[in-house]
Every structure is written in structure tokens, then in C-alpha cells.
Amino acid sequence: MKKIISAALSAALCMSLAGCAESEQSVYQKAYDQAFNSSSVTSSITMDMTVEVSGQTMGMPITMDMKMIDFNDASKVSGDIKMTMELLGQQTDIEMWIKDQEAYIDSDGTKSVEYFDNSEASASLMMQKYEDYDKVQMKKNGSDYDLTCTLKSDKADELYKKILSSAGSSASTDLSGMDVSVGDIAFVIDKDHNMKSISYTLTASGEVSSMDVTYVYDVKGEYSDWNSTSVDFPDLANWETQTN
């Protein structure tokens, strides 16, 4: 009887202390699996980009507010992306609706339609596979899990491609001859194993057009409304001839 009571008390204590303490791998893997099997998500990404060219430094902050539907299904993905970019005191505002493999773009009142590469729709998640990390540390913060992940050096290029894809750049061109490094990646995962946020700093340096160039990206992403995001589309018929 004493053994039974002792076992019951031990089980109760375990349940009260962080739910029997999930491992770092378990928490991350569940968040990864849920993200890449979700039907929709709302995200807000800020990318403070600094470019140093031959000793001259320029800042280029980029913000993206996105509502994505079926982003894990290349044949169905749709959504609404609002992007703001600043360079040399000039601000550019772009809104893009994605539907039926087309991107309906409104760039400061100029409208166009382009093919949308659905294969890159999930790039904004910026999550790597668990085995891509050298080290993962975790601590409980209220009901959330705070994870600090050290990416393997040979996986930095993959993350850079995701940054470029989410910002609409050509990864294959920009990566040529670049040395890429990433600081620790911080994730916040909620109690239901939904990713709430990600933040990290990535540096890429090399020679571009015979000039030494260094890019520094300070990236922060916040995610919400997993599986409950919806998008209200405007009238997309005759898009390029419409006026605001």
C-alpha cells in the first residue's frame, strides 16, 4: 500500500511541475509539426536591414503584415501581404493579394499581376528542422516555452534563403560568394505548442559587383490566429486597369 501511495504522490507531483517536463526536442518538434500542418496563420515580421558598401552604411527597415491561408499547400495558397520599405528617406508601401497562383500587387497605387511561386509560401515561418541545430536550450516562462537555438554553421544559407524569399528577393543571386552567419535564434512557444515569436540576427558578407558588401538583418516575427485566419479579398477582376 505504501508503494502505491508513494507512486501516486510522485505522479501527482510530476503533473504539477511543468506537466512532467517536456524535453526541448519534444516542444520544438510539436511546434514545427503544427506550423507546417496548419491551414492558416497571421504574422507580423520586422526586418531591420543594414547594408555596408565600401565603408558606407545604409539602413533599410522592412515590415510585413501577412494573413496566409493554406500556405503549406502549393496548389491552394492564398493571402494578403502588406509590406513597407524605407530607403534613403523614401517609403514604399506595397499590398499583395495572392490567389490562384497569381499575385495581385498594389505598389503605391500602381497595380500589376505577377505569377506567385507557391513553393516559397511557407518561407515566412523561418523554422528549421530540429536536427539543424547544434544546441537547443529551453526554460519555462509562465505558460510559454522560451527556446534558444544555436544553428549549425552549414545551415545558415538555408535560413538566409528563407529571409530573401519572404522579402521577394532572388536567393540564388544574392547568396553567390556570400559568407553567412547566424546568432542564436529565440523562439517563444505557447502551451498548445503554437509558435508565438521568433527573433535572431543574420549577417551576410562578400563581394558584390567588385565591392565588399555586408548585410545585417535583425529579424523579429510574431504569429497568431493559427488555423483561424481569414482574408477579405477585393475585386480582382481587371486588376491592372483599376484605379484607387
- The total number of structural domains in the chain stands at 1
pLDDT tier for residue 159 given thresholds of 50, 70 and 90: confident
The reply to whether 88 falls in a domain is no
**Cell numbers 500602381 correspond to what residue?**
110
Region 229-238 average pLDDT: 93
Q: pLDDT of 7-34, one tens digit each?
A: 545 544 444 444 457 899 999 999 999 9
Q: Domain range for residue 191?
A: 22-39+46-63+119-232
What pLDDT is recorded for position 19? Answer: 46
The domain that holds 152 is classified in CATH as: 2.50.20
The reply to whether 72 falls in a domain is no
The reply to whether 89 falls in a domain is no
Give the contacts of 139 (CB within 8 A, at least 6 positions apart): 145, 146
Count of C-beta atoms within a 10 Å radius of residue 68: 24
Cell of 213: 558588401
pTM for the model stands at 0.83
The sign of the CA dihedral 35, 41, 43, 47 is positive
Interatomic CA distance for residues 76 and 67, integer angstroms = 14
Q: pLDDT of 171-212, one tens digit each?
A: 444 555 788 899 999 999 999 999 999 999 999 998 877 888
What pLDDT is recorded for position 125? Answer: 77
